[in-house]
Amino acid sequence: MKVSIITATYNSEKTIEDCLKSVLNQNYNNIEYIIIDGASTDDTLSIIEKAKLKHENIISVSEADKGIYDALNKGIEKATGDVVGFLHSDDFFASNETINHIVEAFKSNKVDGVYGDLHYINSTNSDKIVRNWKSQPFSEKLLKQGWMPAHPTLFLKKSVYLKHGLFNLNFKIAADYDLMLRIFKDASLRFNYLPEVITKMRVGGASNRSLKNIWLKTREDYMAVKGNKMGSPVLVICSKNLSKIPQLFKK
């Protein structure tokens, strides 16, 4: 089973090396690593080029884009793997066995998607857990309760994207939520929860950088719920936001 891992970068010189090592040190060999850069002006590209000299499984493109979701869409279109997953440039996998475990979950359970747990970590101290996003086995009723898997931990068969399409660029912050609603409400697809930390994610993402972005995220979440006909948008969004509170205390 070939796994395509996609990373979108833009002026990511401070963290891209850790991200690269996280992928390249995986003990699973059949990995295609696709890096979509948004025309960085710092040392991001030189770090990537140095890695490419040692690892032939890296594919990289650098050009102006319309933001992270546009970059991820480009990566999905280039992906030739059976399974597609993402690793953002600030993040890294929890262990060198992560992809091995994900592939085994696909094979053992004969599913269309696998997801797991996520640790938000301090931006300067990767050992300090800020928020522990522990997921759970999927059932459709959870969607109307505001539940979603942690998107950075979600790996899907390429065929799922061929069926349901890419990220909707009309969303600036919540395109991942919109896409997951489209995919998870498809009763013909099967998903497996892998009860382990898949990804460690540095705090400071676009959705919670400012009050303006928090408002935009809430507004777009509302639009995603309404557009996907998942029940009362207000109740779903309230439940979604309230569900994050316990994650701050489960370290």
Residue tagged 């979604």 (tokens): 240
Residue 107: half-sphere exposure toward Cβ, Cα within 13 Å:
9
Mean pLDDT computed over every residue of the chain:
92
For residue 82, give the CATH number of its domain: 3.90.550.10
Confidence of residue 235 (pLDDT cuts 50, 70, 90): confident
Q: Note the pLDDT tens digit of each residue in 53-92.
A: 999 999 999 999 999 999 999 999 999 999 999 999 999 9
Mean pLDDT calculated for residue range 146-163: 96
Q: Note the pLDDT tens digit of each residue in 166-206.
A: 999 999 999 999 999 999 999 999 999 999 999 999 986 55
Is 122 in a helix, a strand, or coil?
Answer: coil
CB of 151 closer than 8 Å to CB of 117: no
Q: Which two tokens stand for residue 166?
A: 């890419």
Q: Is the dihedral of CA 37, 42, 47, 53 positive or negative?
A: positive
What CA–CA distance (Å, rounded) separates 152 from 103? 16
Name the residue range of residue 73's domain. Answer: 3-248
Q: What is the pTM of this model?
A: 0.92
9 forms beta bridges with 37
Q: Residue 10: pLDDT above 60? A: yes
Question: What pLDDT shows up at residue 213?
Answer: 80
What total of structural domains would you count in the chain?
A: 1
Q: Residue 209: pLDDT above 60? A: no
Question: What pLDDT shows up at residue 207?
Answer: 47
What CA–CA distance (Å, rounded) separates 73 from 93? 21
Phi and psi at residue 242, to the nearest 5°: -65, -30
DSSP state of 71: H
What CA–CA distance (Å, rounded) separates 229 from 219? 15
